[in-house]
Amino acid sequence: MSASETSTPMNVNENEEQGLLDAINDRYGGVIVEVTQPMDSALFASVLSASMAKWRQQGKRGVWIKLPIQHVNLVEAAVKEGFWYHHAEPNYLMLVHWLPQGAQTLPANASHRVGIGAFVMNKNREVLVVQESIGRLRGTGVWKFPTGVVNEGEDLCAAAVREVKEETAIDTKFVQVLAFRQSHKVFFEKSDIFFLCLLEPLSFEIQKQESEIEAAKWMPIEEYAAQPFVQKYELLKCSVDICFAKKNGNYSGFSPVLTSSAFSNEKSYMYFNIHELNKQ
């Protein structure tokens, strides 16, 4: 159930006459309210209570209230009516309530953050590496692959190219996802999915990002792999082994292919092993 997937608007004039909140029906038997006008909290509490009674009578399920940040004065009234926080964005707070008896089946808030690491190697078998000026590795002298977080609405392959460009000014072409790992309780108790990506360099002159990167350079891959920090952790050693195997022609990753689906008019990338599929 998505708070953004809507269908049939309720009758606005009828709601106003009956002292009810304007709402639209979602696709799952619930309603969505978006508060757009200023309202006294006491009046809101009264109108919300009347609306809840009407929705129960109609057999509605989930009730979503989208409160823009300028209407924060209405939060307490909604919570007292039994609503809880679902998620927040910079300009609004989403609250939700489950009307039927029994266990609620509303979808949870987003559970994962998605990150990328970029394996970029030139023809001299040198990898693109950076030292961070912020974060856990600041001041440790550790060289690492460029990494970053995928933005909302951004394709994984585009994020990898962008992060490399931002941190090092190197232009690249996305080639494959080599591997990924999932971990939990990482960022504000959320899970994390991290994709190790292979990119092909299109330029070679480095200009480090001043705000986050202490240093950046091309380093022989053997030197990168020999770092005590890399040798200490299985995840990093495994990543190096995968990168070596790929460059030696003994490993196939997952390539992005534009596909369509029944859920959206927009095409999206599916990542799979084209090499093995073509052999079929």
Residues classed as catalytic = 166
Q: Check: CB of residue 219 under 8 Å from CB of residue 129.
A: yes
Spatial CA neighbour of 29 closest among 56, 65, 66: 56
Contacts of 113 (CB under 8 A, 6+ apart): 149, 186, 187, 190, 191, 192, 193
Spatial CA neighbour of 11 closest among 57, 54, 75: 54
Distance CA 77, CA 45 (A): 5
Beta-sheet pairing, 62-68 with 31-34: parallel
89 pairs with which residues across the strands?
A: 92
Token digits for 238? 């495994």
